[in-house]
Amino acid sequence: MKITIIGGGPGGLYFALLTKKQWPDWAVTVYERNAPDSTFGFGVVFSDETLGFLDDYDNPSYEAIRRSFAYWDDVDVHYQGHVLKAAGNGFCGCSRLTLLQILQQRCRELGVTMHFHTEVEGVEAFADSDLIVAADGLNSRIRENHRDWFQPQVDERRNYFCWLGSSREFDAFKYFFQETEYGVVVAHCYQYEPNRSTWVMEMAPEAWEGLGFGDMSEDEHIRVLEEIFDEELDGHPLIANRSIWRRFPMIRNRRWVKDNIVLLGDAQHTAHFSIGSGTKLAMESAIALFESVKTTGDVPAALEDFEASRRTEVEITQHAADVSLAWFENIDRHWGMDPEPFAFALMSRAKKLTYENLELRDSAFVERCNRWFVARERERGFDVADGTPPMFTPFTLRELTLANRVVVSPMAQYMAEDGLPDDWHLVHLGSRAVGGAGLVYTEMTCVSPDARITPGCTGLWNTAQRDAFKRIVDFVHSQSEAAICMQLGHSGRKGSTQLGWDHMDHPLPEGNWPIYSASPIPYFEGESQVPIEMSRADMDRVRDDFVRSTRLAEEAGFDMVELHMAHGYLLASFISPLTNRRSDEYGGAIENRIRYPLEVFRAMRDVWPNHKPMAVRISATDWKAGGLTDADRAALARMFKAAGVDLIDVSAGQTVPDQQPIYGRMFQTPFADHVRNEVGIPTMAVGNITTPDQVNTILMAERADLVALARPHLSDPYFTLHAGAWYQHEGQQWHRAYGAGRAQAYRNADKDREELTDLRVRTRPRTHEVLGEGEQAGYARERSAS
């Protein structure tokens, strides 16, 4: 077989050596535009896990690589005069040039043909090649020649950055944060060989422009950066190597393969430097491509297998990189934090590192953060015991103090008749209150018969419904420490539809009722009812329906009321530009689109007792182009804060059926973070939050104040009680009838956690550090859980 590789970066070279090693009689040729000793940048970073992969696939190059690396376990966060250390991270740095030279030498040993100083404009000259690997970088000419086929998407991110070096040595990965009059400048720093370290400088456009970098030469901007980081450089200079300012291009391709051409490395995908994954991603993709070739033995089948098997892993890494870079893009949002939550938020920003994972790596770091959290709660007047995890601390909204930060999210049950909650709802809500959550939400309860989503939705428009809810409220108050919140809403254009387990969001087969919306746009074009565009008279009627239901909620004894303005329902249809095309005072700018929802909220607030809190649920994004923007979200939050809202329940999407959400763990939490830390109002995070570990991660990082979980509470009504046992938290109250179960749960959980911790320690990637002559590093040092 004849293989042509265009691009002599780490990904291309590694694929070349793997294939030549496996099939020595194959003709494998690499074409590289630069000289063999020419490279952009300074160091590259690998984790112990990645080095393990390299050892598995080619030990000689692995040995050469690991013996050229500088190792560190610690990450040091230098923030406003404080240094917080998080240990146990297992990373290493190497000169990019050294890495390339090692891979080039290994290719020579195996018989790979390499041509340097060779510019390749297209693939026409390689018509006799069986496989062409386009590893020709960010600006891949091969990809661009076939742009219509590969369909690359280039998302040029907001912040400016440049790569620099220094002669200063480090014993840890360093994050240096410096505040200038124009904004924060961040230096991402690590050592990659003796007397050499990488310094990646990053800042927002406002800081970059204010400091004048756009008009400076390389030498001039280096002098300015040396002044900013004078103390951190400790007398060492910054070193340039084509250190130009750029904005990071996040590259994705709809297709990776065309005929016998396959994209690899940066031509195929990029990942932001803040998670150190560019070179790692390229080399791991080279391994995956090699495996596909080896497994199938046929080029078309191999390329099909490669794209199918590798794409998910790449997209997961890119999503983590997206979340990470967004944290740095919004650094001003977190700048006022105390050192502990700032450092914790930094370490957990990409969602891979969590409260328990960080505790396993460095218990001292998490203990310091926990001490800060407990001390802050004591300053607020709460009697919180030492070592209490964040999820078990109280939280106050007006005169309502919740026992803990765990919330049972509103979940439609579709079990009511004529809007009347029954024994099902008593058991559903009552069992979850007994299960230990600090706050329990009803499902979205509709303010009139024509406000229902389905015939099975609960309602609160008459006294019979009020009394049925009062029975539930009384049970919750008498048998648990939980508070209970009534969520009120109107379905709008998504009403008169089938039950959730039938054909959700689709019209009833018969017996449909009229539906209303901001504009006459059906949910499903050609299938859903066309909603009636609300007149002023309709608005008055619906506003008064909400007021009536609010009064009934107070009579039923609810502790809190939430107004549902999310998920494409009636009030959400006013807020989103995708569903509001009005030309009157209720359409157009966000201030107009918010006008009617604000009117409804104020009318409810006027009749709801002043000592009781009110919340609103919002969709932070529509997950579709042309929908809600970040600026819309902030403006909405500020207006409702001014109107007296106490908590914003931050959900997302479900506005239109063709939304394109980006799912993942805690995927909506960044929106709660945005609202909380930019607008300055308590928020509740919701969305694929599944474990107590994630709850504590969100709270410790100050990304939200409460955390709502839906599906975990469906499968485990006693989620919070079990979490208390898991953390051995003695302050978690169990119902007196369940006392015997408490003792057993705590014993079993203590044993289970000890066994799981031991398993995690044993399965951590081995270290690859060279410990001494003749030693087999990587097998010699056993990591401790602490």
- Burial profile 583-605: b = 16 or more Cβ within 10 angstroms, e = fewer: eeebbeebeebbbbbbbbbeebb
Torsion of CA 341, 347, 353, 357, to 10 degrees: -70
Would you tell me how many other CB atoms lie within 10 Å of the CB of residue 102? 22
Q: Pick the catalytic residue from 569, 596, 727, 746.
A: 569
Q: Measured between alpha carbons, how far is 320 from 323 in angstroms, rounded to an integer?
A: 5
Q: Which residue's structure tokens are 């955390």?
A: 707
Query: 415 near 424, Cβ under 8 Å?
Result: yes
H or E segment and range at residue 328: helix 299-329
| Distance from C-alpha of 412 to C-alpha of 444, rounded to nearest angstrom | 7
Of 234, 98, 95, 249, nearest to 174 by C-alpha is: 234
DSSP 420: B
Q: Are 720 and 402 in contact (CB under 8 A)?
A: no
The C-alpha atoms of residue 710 and residue 491 are separated, in whole angstroms, by 20
Q: What is the largest CA-CA distance in the chain?
A: 86
In angstroms, rounded to a whole number, what is the distance separating the alpha carbons of residues 391 and 438?
Answer: 10
Say which amino acid occupies 712. Answer: P
Q: Say if residues 560 and 476 touch (Cβ distance below 8 Å).
A: no
Pair of tokens at residue 397: 């909204």
Is 727 annotated in the active site? Answer: no
Residues facing residue 133 across a β-bridge: 5, 262
Q: In Å, how far are 97, 298, 326 from 46, measured between CA atoms? A: 15, 32, 22
The number of beta carbons lying within 10 Å of the beta carbon of residue 370 is: 22
**Phi, psi (rounded to 5 degrees) for 198:** -90, 140
Q: Residues 365, 84: contact at Cβ < 8 Å?
A: yes
3 state SS for 65-126: HHCCCEEECCEEEEECCEEEEECCCCEEEEEHHHHHHHHHHHHHHHCCEEECCCCCCCCHHH
Q: Decide: helix, strand or coil at residue 481.
A: coil
Q: Which helix (H) or strand (E) is 761 found in, with range?
A: helix 739-762
Whole-angstrom CA distances from 699 to 345, 410, 444, 702 are 10, 20, 25, 5
Q: Which residue has the tokens 């039950």?
A: 499
Angstrom distances, CA of residue 402 to CA of 312, 405, 439, 475, 772: 40, 7, 7, 17, 56
* CA 660 vs CA 318, 623, 625: distances in Å: 16, 5, 9
| Torsion angle defined by CA atoms of residues 656, 659, 665 and 668, in that order, rounded to the nearest 10 degrees | -50
| 46: phi then psi, degrees, rounded to nearest 5 | -130, 150
Distance CA 322, CA 328 (A): 10
- Single out the residue of 693, 1, 659, 664 nearest to residue 290, CA to CA: 1
d(CA 288, CA 298): 15
Cβ atoms of 685 and 720 within 8 Å: the answer is no
The conformation of residue 351, written as its DSSP 8-state character, comes to S
DSSP three-state, residue 710: coil
Alpha carbons within 13 A on the beta-carbon side of 603: 17
What distance in Å separates the CA atoms of residue 636 and residue 590, rounded to the nearest whole number?
A: 8
In whole angstroms, give the CA distance from residue 157 to residue 182. 19
Q: Which residues are identified as catalytic?
A: 569
